[in-house]
Amino acid sequence: MTAHATPDDVKKLAALARLTVSEEELPAFVAEFEAILGYVGQLETLDIAAGSDILPYANTFRTEGTPHEKGVWTPDIVKAFPNREGDALSVKQIIAND
């Protein structure tokens, strides 16, 4: 598969990432985006049967248990909050639900 990124693709991606890309920077980003898509597109050439396991599975979960007493660190963490409402961290809204 040949990847063909367009300036509009890069503008849409930049908008999703909340980045500003100037018209002067656009050709360089288009070239980089095409290179990334081309590299990722190489995955299509791999000869792997659907549903086959590539890597062996290993249990990476920790054992269940209580690592420390509940709430022992809460006062120290709350003191480090720049803004708070009670014991909750207060942050500025950055995503609108429009």
How many residues are given for the chain? 98
Over residues 50-89, the pLDDT tens digits come to 766 667 777 777 777 777 788 888 888 888 888 888 878 8
State if pTM tops 0.95.
Answer: no
Backbone torsion region of residue 61, taken as left when φ is above 0, otherwise alpha when ψ lies between -120 and 50, otherwise beta: beta
Domain ranges across the chain: 7-45
Q: Select the CATH number that applies to the domain covering 7-45 from these four: 3.10.150, 1.25.40, 1.10.10, 1.10.20.
A: 1.10.20
- Residues 10/26, Cβ–Cβ less than 8 Å: yes
Over residues 21-35, the pLDDT tens digits come to 999 999 999 999 999
